[in-house]
Amino acid sequence: MTARALRILLGLVIVLSVAFAVPATATSNGDNDAFWEGRANEGSVSIGGSWSGSSTSGSNSGGSGSQPPSQNAGNSSNSSNNQIVPAGPVCPDGTVGLLLGCESGLSIAGVLGGSPTIAAAAPESSGGEPVVDPSTLVTISDVQSIVADGGTINVSPNRGWVYVNKPVYFESDAVGYDEDLSVLGNAVTVHLTPTSYTWDPGDGSQVFSSDNPGGPWPDGTVTHAYLKDIAEVRIGLTVEWSAAFTVGGTTYPVDGTATSTTQSDSFDVREAEAVLTR
């Protein structure tokens, strides 16, 4: 027997003992108030609880033994409305935690007319599977795993080296795209959008940012001029991503941002040499 099954069985035994095993015998005093035997203290029944319900007016000197004292002042025709609400923590689904609390997976919705009603802590679909909020199918952690590959960086002019004091054009292939996934049996399309690009030229100079991936010479908008000879320079790039996803025809945003990082292939920075010709 699993631990969960054992907890459920224990909970059922306790609930049934509350509902059936504790007889409530009414006696009366001079004020015709019924005193209920078998309870540990005022307002509690065995493991704790309170009475709620309504009754019609009438006369009853001793109490019927099936209602709380406040109900015994008259002739009750609505005893089926009496309800024991067990004491315990109120769970997120509106039920009351039983013995081991909401985390045990077993809670009690109430005892109506002496019959216990057991409610599972998590709602289930008609197929027996837990009901999942579709807006939670994709998280920023999922997005981070998708964009882990930061793509490639191209440099132009692309010849394995560049000149000192000449603009070098940077370009990334990290652009917006869609990724199709299957999440808990649901077809999901994740929409990924780069929001910023942070470039490290690799020569010790200040990093800088752009809102686009750059482009090749001569129309690219992301450039850098190196000021001295350097061997084996590598450009670094960090991209921030936002995301949304579509499932069942509805699109939901994903809270937070993900990041990807990458480096370019190495290249040299050289001084231009004067060449004399005749």
- What is the second-level CATH architecture of the domain 134-270? Sandwich (2.60)
Distance CA 244, CA 235 (A): 30
Q: What is the pLDDT of residues 73-106, one digit of tens each?
A: 444 444 444 444 444 555 655 555 544 455 444 4
Cα 16 to Cα 13, 20, 26, 195, distances in angstroms: 5, 6, 21, 59
Averaged pLDDT of the chain: 72
Contact 89, 97 (CB under 8 A): yes
What residues pair up with 177 in beta bridges, in sequence order? Answer: 192
Instruction: Name the nearest CA neighbour of 84 among 61, 56, 108.
Output: 108
Q: What is the pLDDT of residue 132?
A: 81
Nearest to 236 by CA among 221, 228, 224: 224
What are the structure tokens assigned to 109, written together?
């919705």
Confidence of residue 13 (pLDDT cuts 50, 70, 90): low
CA distances to 152, 160, 172, 203 from 232, rounded to whole Å, are 17, 9, 19, 10
Which part of the chain is CATH 2.60.40.10? 134-270
Q: For strand 236-247 and strand 186-200, is the pairing parallel, antiparallel, or unpaired?
A: antiparallel
**pLDDT for the residue 43:** 41
Query: H or E element: which one contains 190?
Result: strand 186-200
Provide the 8-state DSSP code for 69: G
User: pLDDT at position 158, please?
Assistant: 83
What percent of the chain has a predicted confidence (pLDDT) above 70?
51
Instruction: Tell me what the mean pLDDT of segment 222-250 comes to.
Output: 96
150/173 Cα distance (integer angstroms): 9
pTM: 0.54
Q: How confident is the model at residue 125 (pLDDT cuts 50, 70, 90)?
A: low
Residue 35 has pLDDT above 70, yes or no: no
For the record, the structure tokens of 216 come out as: 């090749």
- The three-state DSSP-derived secondary structure of 2-51 is CHHHHHHHHHHHHHHHHHHHCCCCEEECCCCCEEECCCCCCCCCCCCEEE
